[in-house]
Amino acid sequence: MKIQLALDRLTIEEAIAIAEKAEQEIDWIEIGTSLIKEFGVKSIKEMKKRFPNKFIVADIKTFDNAKYEFEMCFQAGADIATVMGAAPAVTLDVCVETAERFGKKVMIDLLNTLEENLKYIEQFDNVVVCKHISKDQQEHGGKAQWVSLSVSGHQEVAAAGGIGIDTLAELKKLNPDVLIVGSAISKAEDPKKAAREIRKAWEALS
């Protein structure tokens, strides 16, 4: 299992400082959508510059203009960029083609993705699919659940949205390869300890 630290609603400097604290206990670093919206690709560039050996995920949540947005992320140093699974098929195709051309990866966020697109997404190899409970669902939507759909055997599975020690048992049933953890690490007094405790608790569930 990999831990992807999601960094949202922070300045670039704050995000780097948190990643530095948690560095040894996390695998991938996500530049959250909010950072990309607020500070642009500078946030990706700065993070890659500080962590050249870490896998950097640009959570750009592309829905259109895929070639332009994905090239921009990869040229800035991202190793993975995200696209919404609900996007038109052509957009998904262009994301996959662009990532292949750069030797990089695509993460497909399955938030609100309907059956037709879920079927379409099954064909892609070498992508990560992300089962995501959104911030709005967490904060205003009552109790949302991670979708339990089965995915193609060639695809890695990530889960995101309010993950912390108390949600691990429920998540274990989905058997994700990547746990995307934001607030539970970024808001912790000791981000390194918080990440270590999540990993230990996950391993104890095995």
Residues at the interface with ligand 5RP (CB under 6 A): 6, 8, 30, 32-33, 59, 134-135, 160-163, 180-184
- Give dist(CA 11, CA 140) in Å, integer: 25
Q: Which is nearer to ligand 5RP, 162 or 176 (CB)?
A: 162
Q: In the complex, what is the shortest distance from the CB of residue 129 to ligand 5RP, in angstroms, rounded to a whole number?
A: 14
Strands (E), 2-153: 2-7, 28-31, 55-62, 80-84, 105-109, 127-132
Q: Which is nearer to ligand 5RP, 141 or 154 (CB)?
A: 141
Q: What's 25's DSSP letter?
A: G
Q: In the complex, what is the shortest distance from the CB of residue 73 to ligand 5RP, in angstroms, rounded to a whole number?
A: 15
At 135, is the secondary structure helix, strand, or coil?
A: helix
Q: Which is nearer to ligand 5RP, 97 or 138 (CB)?
A: 138
Q: In the complex, what is the shortest distance from the CB of residue 33 to ligand 5RP, in angstroms, rounded to a whole number?
A: 5
- Give dist(CA 27, CA 85) in Å, integer: 24
Of 159, 201, 196, whose CA–CA distance to 180 is shortest? Answer: 159
Owner of token pair 């190899």: 125
Of 45, 35, 40, whose CA–CA distance to 10 is shortest? Answer: 35
Rounded to 5 degrees, φ, ψ at 40 are 75, -160
| Contact present, 28 and 55 (Cβ < 8 Å) | yes
Q: Which is nearer to ligand 5RP, 101 or 187 (CB)?
A: 187
Q: In the complex, what is the shortest distance from the CB of residue 30 to ligand 5RP, in angstroms, rounded to a whole number?
A: 6
By Cβ distance, which residue is nearest to ligand 5RP?
182
Q: In the complex, what is the shortest distance from the CB of residue 158 to ligand 5RP, in angstroms, rounded to a whole number?
A: 10
Q: Which is nearer to ligand 5RP, 32 or 176 (CB)?
A: 32
Q: In the complex, what is the shortest distance from the CB of residue 171 to ligand 5RP, in angstroms, rounded to a whole number?
A: 12
Q: Which is nearer to ligand 5RP, 160 or 188 (CB)?
A: 160
**In this structure, what token pair is assigned to residue 154?**
């060639």
